[in-house]
Amino acid sequence: MPVSLDRLLVVGISSRALFDLEAEEAIFRTQGLEAYRQHQIDNENEILKPGAGFALVRALLKLNELTPDQRLVEVVIMSRNSTETSLRIFNSIDHYGLDITRAVLSGGASLAPYLRAFNVSLFLSLHEDDVQAAIDSSTAAALLYQKPANAFEELDQIRIAFDGDAVIFSDESERIYQTQGIEAFENHERENALKPLPEGPFARLLKALSYIQNNFKHVSSAPIRTALVTARSSPAHERVIRTLRVWDVTIDETFFMGGVSKSDVLAAFKPHMFFDDQPGHCERASTYVQTGRVPSRIELKDVKKA
């Protein structure tokens, strides 16, 4: 009987996001595919250093150790490498003791068609084209920034922080703010306070994390802690609170920043990963915590307008 990944939190991560392959990426870009191929074969027993997504992946995989009778998380390496150049990646996985057994090696082809095949809940990469394609296919995805100096600090909990609009929630309200201004945005949110916000690209991931948290209700200190760090403030807070109630999702910490920089709050919360859609927010946060930028979904109508 085939193994099902339907009830698992499945994280797809590119090899370059899991390990530091920046030198190899430079070889590929400046010297070409053949030079890259030979370099990887010549160095296949040389262990790669951890990359931008390593800390989050390692922390999530530890959840399986807490529930020996029930696997909660699966990680799939999703790489444009060929089979021939992948041995170094697998050797590095073994070296760090990462419980990763599944891989997609597309040989240069797009990874997006395989996201649904592996029921991927979250895709992490340093290649913008792959991240955009994942978002466009309705999979939560983020473009990772290079790791800050403290990225691999060991924490007792898995900590994940999210922006609100265009990340957990849809960009419907965000577009009003961008096109009509703050007053129109606040009026819209006040008038629709009782109407739940539509789901954004990371709503499914948040719900999956909430489901996992329910497995540890009997534990005094849950292994996962989530935070919402949003630029919203009163009166736009009410709709957020009511939406989370409707979803039956509890976020452990919520910060309505009202336009104040998020960086200091994030530095205090110390997440393994912070997801935001605004490049400016991401660039500032990325010097303090590991950060992933969530691109906007490219709709057909947007392409026609362009």
Write out the catalytic residue numbers: 163
Residue 253 in contact with residue 226, Cβ under 8 Å? yes
Q: What phi and psi values does residue 24 have, to the nearest 5 degrees? A: -70, -35
Per domain, the residue ranges of the chain are 9-143, 158-305
Work out the pLDDT band at 4, boundaries 50, 70, 90.
low
Please write the tens of the pLDDT for every residue from 91-110.
999 999 999 999 999 988 98
Q: In the CATH scheme, what architecture does the domain 9-143 have?
A: 3-Layer(aba) Sandwich (3.40)
Please write the tens of the pLDDT for every residue from 178-210.
899 888 988 999 999 999 999 999 999 999 999
Q: Decide which of 3.90.1480.20, 3.50.50.60, 3.40.50.1000, 3.40.140.10 is the CATH code for 158-305.
A: 3.40.50.1000
Name the pTM for this structure.
0.90
Helix, strand and coil in the chain, % to nearest 5: 40, 15, 45
Mean of per-residue pLDDT scores for the chain? 90
Same fold, 9-143 and 158-305: yes
| Six-digit token string for 113 | 């068609």
Say yes or no to pLDDT of 74 above 90. Answer: yes
Region for 166 from its dihedrals, namely left if φ exceeds 0, alpha if ψ lies in -120 to 50, beta otherwise: left
Residue 225 in contact with residue 159, Cβ under 8 Å? yes
Rounded Cα–Cα distance for residues 256 and 156 (Å): 25
